[in-house]
Structure 1
Amino acid sequence: MSGMSDVRLALHSQELEAEQGRTLSAPANSRWSLFWHRSHTRKALLDMTAEQLRDIGLSAEQARQEGVKPFWRK
């Protein structure tokens, strides 16, 4: 993952939260899209370096805990 500023990460986080709220009443294909996104981003967390994790404010343990979650869990 390329370096992202704190502002971009915060905005991206807000977009994801809004998407999750819409997904609760959205058609099934949107839910699969959300599941795919969760799976993809969680795998990316597992590949991040300590410096990248520090940049986004996560410890290695926090990234591991999120990275090993199944895609269907929030």
Structure 2
Amino acid sequence: MSGMSDVRLALQGQELVAGQRRAAAPREISHWRLFWQRCHTRKALLNLTCEQLRDIGLTAEQARQEGVKPFWRS
């Protein structure tokens, strides 16, 4: 193997270990992560251009409706 492959394998191993630690974390943490993700992606929707919205199949009104929802609502 080349040195680059060894580095990739080491990084992938670290990511797997980190993922296992997250999976073993208390359930409340995953709820907060979900809330943060909703908040982050909804804010991002509000900043997309018309072309970007068209690419993902949303109208500006649909993006606005989703973007202004509070993070605790699904």
Measured against the shorter chain, the TM-score band is 0.5 to 0.7
Aligned position for 1:28: 28
Q: Partners in 2 of 1:63 and 1:42 — Cα distance?
A: 8
SS in structure 2 at match of 1:37 = helix
After TM superposition, which residue ranges in structure 1, 4 or more long, deviate above 3 angstroms?
A: none
Q: Give the TM-score normalised by the residue count of structure 1.
A: 0.65
* Greater RCO, CA 8 A, separation 6+: 1
Unaligned runs of 5+ in 2: 1-25
- Bigger-Rg structure (1/2): 2
Alpha-carbon RMSD across the aligned residues, in angstroms, is 0.9
Aligned position for 1:48: 48
Q: Partners in 1 of 2:65 and 2:37 — Cα distance?
A: 17
Q: How many residues align?
A: 49
Unaligned runs of 5+ in 1: 1-25
Q: Which structure is higher in helix share? A: 2
Write the deviation string for residues 10-56 of structure 1: whole angstroms up to 9, x where unpaired: xxxxxxxxxxxxxxxx7100000000000000000000000000000
Q: Give the TM-score normalised by the residue count of structure 2.
A: 0.65
